[in-house]
Amino acid sequence: MDTTLRKSSYPWVIVLSAIFWYGIGFGLLGNTVGLFYTPVATDGGWSMTEATFFMTLYPIAAAITSPFAGRVFNKFNKTNVVIAVVIGLWCALFVWSSTFTTLIEWNIYGVVAGILGGFLMYIPVPMLINNWFTKSKGIALGIAAASCNLIPALINPVITAQIASLGWRPVRMYMGIGFAVVLIPLVLIIVRKNPKDKGLLAWGEGEVSEVSETAEAAPSVKTGVSVKTATKSPAFWLSLLAVACLVSCASINQRIASLAAARDFDAVAIGMASSVIMVGAVVGKLILGAIRDKTMSSITTGLICAGFGLVGCLLFLTLGTTSMIMFYASILIYGFGYAGLTVVPPMVVESAFGGKNFSQIYANVSIATCCASSITSYIYAAIIDKTGGYEGCFILAMVFYAIFAVCVPLIVKIGQKLPREA
């Protein structure tokens, strides 16, 4: 350990900053998209399939971009500059979308937003947590990742009310301008890629390491599987399948506002439905993070995540239509499972392949995240248009959760047997 480096609480400042730039940058600009589906479709006179097709293009573009983004974050030390530029462009795109009148414009939006999303969605937060923490990674990741649900949960009712009052166009314009003014300076000032960039130690570095699935005991020296070895292994391909299934389940999140609208909820109740699932995701991420730190097992964490999702789906299908309370209860528990999207995959990937080449390997895994999101977004829209209901979406999600639960133990066990390098 370098004795010139000092201990500090700054790793938690990194987490705190992520609550804002990730929670607003990705959380509000990304996770509130469902609030605009119905008003945009109504305004344009489009079907739900037509109005949401841009969300099929979005993850395809993100999938193409993610491996490149992983290499950029791995090699380029000015992580704060990369994140700030991406957020600035995303805010500008949000403002531009307030002028759209055609489906072509929305489809172009989906492509451009996907390119930017490849840099912001899944890579920077896990990478920063992996760099700044050698212990308490689970809870740190849970807190940071929870922000993309916490902030929407708090703001969704306000946004929904403003859409109903002002219309969706002014709301998107104000959101884009306001967030750019706040977030860009925050990222540039606070975010740094590595503790050593500020002469600091990672949180827990130099302390006796906890026993983990990977049995690695030297926190100051990262070890891991090479990118080439990882991508050729069955564990990697199972990771693609597992993540694809998990994101397919999570895609239902974007349909909650439309689901509530279809049940003739008023504007406040629609916003509340979106907030409830976000609250579930916030609590779920904190729970899953704490479980990971307590058990040091990404397998246990992944199985609990799948269990939450299955119970939420089953509750919705059996009792979710009987009353508003049971509807809210079902999507709350579903939110616990949905929480795993940004928490469990990086845990599983690090457990299987180590931390040395984490950002690049995880970026490659994220391709499945983006592709699956594209496909299932279209499938869910088609199910809704064909059946006039959302039950088929939840049945399909149960299948995906079951496959995910089978894959997680296999990924970790197979990945642990691969040769590692310092």
- Is the predicted pLDDT of residue 45 greater than 70, yes or no? yes
- Whole-model pTM: value is 0.73
DSSP 3: T
Give the residue-averaged pLDDT of 16-21.
89
- Is the predicted pLDDT of residue 412 greater than 80, yes or no? yes
Nearby residues of 216 by Cβ (< 8 Å), 6 or more positions away: 209, 223, 354
Q: What is the pLDDT of residues 158-196, one digit of tens each?
A: 888 899 899 999 999 999 999 899 999 999 999 999 998
Q: Is 291 part of a structural domain of the chain?
A: yes
Q: Which amino acid is at 221?
A: V
Nearby residues of 121 by Cβ (< 8 Å), 6 or more positions away: 26, 30, 62, 366, 369
Q: Is 208 part of a structural domain of the chain?
A: no
pLDDT band at residue 218 using 50, 70 and 90 as cut-offs: very low
| pLDDT reported for residue 215 | 43
Q: Is 73 part of a structural domain of the chain?
A: yes
Q: Is 201 part of a structural domain of the chain?
A: no
pLDDT band at residue 207 using 50, 70 and 90 as cut-offs: low
Q: Provide the number of structural domains found in the chain.
A: 1
- Residue of 364 and 40 predicted with greater confidence: 40
Q: What is the pLDDT of residues 384-394, one digit of tens each?
A: 888 877 888 88
| pLDDT reported for residue 221 | 56
Q: Which amino acid is at 110?
A: G
CA distance 361 to 355: 10
CA distance 202 to 196: 8
Q: List the CATH number of the domain containing 158.
A: 1.20.1250.20
Give the residue-averaged pLDDT of 61-83.
87
- Residue of 340 and 257 predicted with greater confidence: 340
DSSP 52: T
Cβ 276 vs Cβ 270: under 8 Å = no
pLDDT band at residue 268 using 50, 70 and 90 as cut-offs: low
pLDDT exceeding 90 applies to what percent of the chain?
A: 35
Q: Is 216 part of a structural domain of the chain?
A: no
Q: Of 134, 330, 292, give the one whose Cα is nearest residue 213.
A: 292
| pLDDT reported for residue 3 | 55
Distance, C-alpha 269 to centroid of its chain: 25
pLDDT exceeding 70 applies to what percent of the chain?
A: 90
| pLDDT reported for residue 330 | 87
Q: Of 262, 385, 272, 254, give the one whose Cα is nearest residue 321.
A: 262
Q: Is 202 part of a structural domain of the chain?
A: no
- Is the predicted pLDDT of residue 206 greater than 80, yes or no? no
pLDDT band at residue 216 using 50, 70 and 90 as cut-offs: very low
Tell me whether residue 124 is exposed, middle or buried, using C-beta atoms within 10 angstroms of its C-beta: 0 to 12, 13 to 18, 19 or more.
buried
Among 21-25, 127-131, 369-373, which stretch is predicted with the lowest mean pLDDT?
Answer: 369-373
Q: Is 207 part of a structural domain of the chain?
A: no
Nearby residues of 413 by Cβ (< 8 Å), 6 or more positions away: none
- Is the predicted pLDDT of residue 12 greater than 90, yes or no? yes
| pLDDT reported for residue 339 | 83
Crossing angle of helices 298-319 and 391-416, in 10° steps, is 170
- Is the predicted pLDDT of residue 312 greater than 80, yes or no? yes
- Is the predicted pLDDT of residue 266 greater than 70, yes or no? no
- Is the predicted pLDDT of residue 211 greater than 50, yes or no? no
Residue 300: give the domain boundaries.
10-194+225-416
Q: Is 64 part of a structural domain of the chain?
A: yes
- Is the predicted pLDDT of residue 217 greater than 50, yes or no? no
CA distance 140 to 285: 10
Please provide the average confidence, as pLDDT, over all residues in the chain. 85
3-class DSSP assignment, residue 129: helix
Crossing angle of helices 358-387 and 124-132, in 10° steps, is 140
